[in-house]
């Protein structure tokens, strides 16, 4: 890169190539499916706020540089590269990259140099160039949402607008940002994938599919970096399809539809009832793919956190237990042979133990006791939640033994694993001891502090103590970390971003008001936007969720009679 404005060319490419190389070496791992949840999902959250920045951002002040090492440069940058590769075709894209690397070896390049070389090997459309697409997605802030419906056998695409999560930001948005949008689609009539373009200057597009079409999936395979809001009738048909034969839709398409629906519930574009109706297929169908489960687990945990102080939470946890039971019983505790199944088992078992599903806690505690005697007795994939569950439900002596292991180990990933387990204790004295550890750089390294306090905030017993402790010791943390990085902002964000009441919001604003934070200020502002979004979620969805969950419970009771 010639200047910091194209930081993403280095970092986004490095991120993407990790997946591409792993997929070439181990295709059975399906890492490109993981790419969706680890890149699209993460970056689209931050990129859904008005405060986001473009992938390629003008840099005029050295203080800006540190703040650019974020999910926009890494995850969104990688997602745009994935989109370009998908449009170009993997062979043409590889040839173009080889030429680009040879031409600019031992030299600097700008993004336009890459676009020009890709264009030599690819024709996207008669009137849309590679540069048109790439520049729109890298130089403009945010991403679009499109509305998709069916009308007399045709797919109708309309209302391209920038997606913003907050209602107040949408109301105040005066920009008219548009993108050339590649719409890769398929329907229930056949499995073949087709492509049309919604040009930047087009208000809508209509594509004939077939008279008897029931549903259509736009952006199939999650090719494009945008969200799709379907009409009510299409959602109804997708719910029916998932309930009857979910594998008619690919794992990525299932994950994308679910993820977009939950985000539309956050933003107010869609009711929470539709998102939960979409999820219900896992009650009766065996979902064996990891990425739909990752999306489901992520959003259900968010909802549970939102309603944790309301009477609805107990009934919602019953719903969670109900939909996880099939997966828990299928995966069990034996070590699966396939890598992807081991990853899924870890996530499902961790969720099942957190919900105290069936005998999960007992099994985990038994394995924890064995681990205390022999560190190799528990296979590495399930060690994190086994040790965490052991500490959560264990004694002070158990905590001390894990702490001793934490001090002894020199493996950074093992240290993080044990630190996370130590943070899960329900013992208030041990929680305070953990917090004091965070003030000692010899015990908890400064670069780990944001994660350490973030771990503590996931502990319901510890969360209020942690926020109070952070405020009391703010100046000490500032001194430990130093003011020249974004670490203080990252730590602050990890503590406050899940707050969800107006009281919390005002308290946070008042605390950070007037504090000189340099590059860290952007992280705090992002966290405050997250709190505003959480408050909005509760206003839009809390009552509707209560109605839905009571209706679900009534149906369940009737079916059991």
Q: pLDDT for 184-202, tens place per residue?
A: 999 999 999 999 999 999 9
Instruction: Give the count of beta carbons closer than 10 Å to the beta carbon of residue 267.
Output: 22
232 sits in the region (left: phi over 0; alpha: psi -120 to 50; else beta) called alpha
- What's the CA gap between 116 and 112, in Å, rounded? 6
Domain with CATH 1.25.50.20 in the chain: 235-355
pLDDT confidence of 376, banded at 50, 70, 90?
very high
What does the alpha-carbon distance between residue 392 and residue 404 come to, in Å, rounded to a whole number?
17
**Is the per-residue pLDDT at 559 higher than 80?**
no
What does the alpha-carbon distance between residue 482 and residue 473 come to, in Å, rounded to a whole number?
14
Q: Whole-angstrom distance between the N-terminal and C-terminal Cα of the chain? A: 67
| pLDDT for 292 | 96
284-304 pLDDT, tens digit each: 888 999 999 999 999 999 999
The answer to whether the beta carbons of residues 250 and 267 sit under 8 Å apart is no
Query: Which class for 131: exposed (0-12), middle (13-18), buried (19 or more C-beta within 10 A)?
Result: middle
What value does the mean pLDDT of the chain take? Answer: 92
Q: How far apart are CA 230 and CA 218, in angstroms?
A: 9
Q: What is the pLDDT of residue 483?
A: 63
Both tokens of 412, joined, read 């950074």
* Rounded distance between C-alpha atoms, residue 83 and residue 278, angstroms: 26
Q: How many beta carbons lie within 10 A of that of residue 315, not counting itself? A: 15
pLDDT-derived band at 275 (thresholds 50, 70, 90) equals: very high
CATH of 4-139, one of 2.102.10.10, 1.10.1740.10, 1.10.390.10, 3.10.310.30: 1.10.390.10
Residue 446 has pLDDT above 60, yes or no: yes
pLDDT higher than 90, residue 536: yes
Tokens of 118: 């890709």
pTM score? 0.93
Q: What is the pLDDT averaged over residues 129-141? A: 91
> How far, in Å, CA of 382 to CA of 345, rounded?
8
Task: Summarize pLDDT for 513-526 with one digit per residue, the tens.
Answer: 999 888 888 899 99
Both tokens of residue 89? 């075709």
11 vs 234, which has greater pLDDT? 234
Average the pLDDT over 158-173 and give the result: 93
Residue 49's pLDDT is: 95
Band (pLDDT 50/70/90 cuts) for residue 496 is very high
Give the mean pLDDT of 160-189: 93
Kindly report, as residue ranges, where domains of CATH 1.10.390.10 are found in the chain.
4-139
Supply the pLDDT for residue 122.
87
Residues forming beta bridges with residue 216, ordered by sequence position: 187
CA distance 440 to 475: 14
Rounded distance, CA 543 to CA 273, Å?
Answer: 11
Q: How confident is the model at residue 107, as a pLDDT? A: 82
pLDDT, position 73: 84
pLDDT at 358: 76
Burial class of residue 173 in the structure, from the number of CB atoms within 10 Å of its CB (0-12 exposed, 13-18 middle, 19+ buried): middle
Spatial distance between the Cα atoms of 488 and 516, rounded to a whole number of angstroms:
11
pLDDT of residue 405: 96
CATH fold label, 235-355:
Zincin-like fold (1.25.50)
């Amino acid at each position: 890169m010639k200047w910091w404005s194209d930081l993403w060319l280095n970092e986004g490419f490095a991120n993407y190539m990790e997946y591409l190389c792993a997929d070439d070496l181990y295709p059975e791992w399906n890492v490109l499916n993981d790419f969706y949840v680890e890149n699209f999902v993460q970056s689209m959250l931050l990129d859904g706020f008005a405060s986001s920045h473009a992938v390629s951002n003008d840099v005029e002040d050295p203080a800006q540089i540190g703040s650019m090492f974020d999910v926009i440069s890494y995850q969104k940058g990688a997602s745009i590269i994935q989109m370009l590769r998908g449009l170009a075709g993997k062979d043409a894209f590889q040839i173009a990259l080889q030429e680009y690397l040879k031409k600019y070896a031992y030299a600097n390049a700008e993004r336009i140099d890459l676009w020009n070389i890709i264009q030599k090997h690819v024709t996207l459309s008669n009137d849309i160039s590679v540069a048109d697409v790439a520049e729109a997605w890298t130089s403009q802030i945010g991403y679009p949402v499109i509305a998709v419906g069916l009308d007399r056998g045709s797919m109708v695409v309309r209302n391209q607008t920038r997606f913003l999560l907050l209602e107040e930001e949408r109301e105040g948005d005066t920009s008219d940002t548009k993108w050339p949008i590649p719409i890769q689609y398929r329907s229930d009539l056949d499995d073949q994938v087709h492509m049309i373009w919604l040009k930047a200057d087009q208000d809508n597009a209509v594509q004939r599919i077939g008279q008897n079409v029931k549903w259509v999936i736009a952006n199939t395979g999650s090719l494009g970096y945008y969200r799709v809001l379907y009409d009510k009738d299409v959602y109804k048909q997708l719910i029916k399809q998932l309930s009857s034969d979910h594998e008619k839709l690919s794992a990525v398409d299932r994950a994308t539809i679910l993820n977009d629906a939950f985000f539309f519930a956050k933003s107010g574009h869609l009711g929470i009832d539709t998102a939960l109706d979409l999820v219900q297929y896992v009650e009766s169908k065996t979902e064996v793919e990891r990425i739909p489960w990752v999306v489901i687990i992520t959003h259900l945990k968010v909802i549970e956190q939102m309603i944790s102080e309301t009477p609805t939470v107990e009934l919602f946890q019953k719903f969670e237990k109900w939909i996880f039971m099939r997966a828990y019983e299928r995966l069990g505790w034996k070590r699966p042979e396939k890598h992807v199944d081991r990853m899924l088992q870890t996530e499902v078992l961790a969720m099942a133990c957190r919900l105290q599903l069936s005998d999960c806690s007992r099994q985990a505690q038994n394995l924890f006791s064995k681990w205390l005697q022999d560190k190799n007795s528990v296979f590495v994939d399930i060690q994190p939640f086994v040790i965490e569950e052991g500490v959560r439900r264990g004694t002070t002596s158990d905590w001390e033994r894990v702490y001793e292991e934490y001090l002894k180990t020199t493996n950074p990933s093992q240290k993080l694993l044990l630190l996370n387990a130590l943070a899960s204790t329900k013992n208030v004295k041990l929680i305070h001891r953990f917090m004091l550890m965070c003030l000692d750089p010899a015990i908890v390294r400064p670069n780990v502090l944001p994660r350490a306090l973030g771990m503590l905030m996931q502990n319901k017993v510890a969360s209020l103590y942690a926020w109070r402790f952070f405020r009391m010791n703010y100046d000490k943390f500032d001194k430990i970390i130093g003011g020249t990085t974004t670490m203080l902002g990252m730590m602050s964000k990890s503590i406050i971003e899940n707050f969800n009441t107006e009281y919390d919001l005002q308290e946070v604003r008042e605390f950070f008001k007037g504090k000189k934070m340099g590059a860290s200020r952007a992280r705090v502002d992002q966290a405050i936007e997250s709190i505003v979004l959480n408050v909005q979620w509760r206003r839009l969805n809390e009552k509707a969720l209560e109605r839905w969950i009571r209706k679900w419970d009534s149906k369940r009771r009737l079916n059991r009679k």
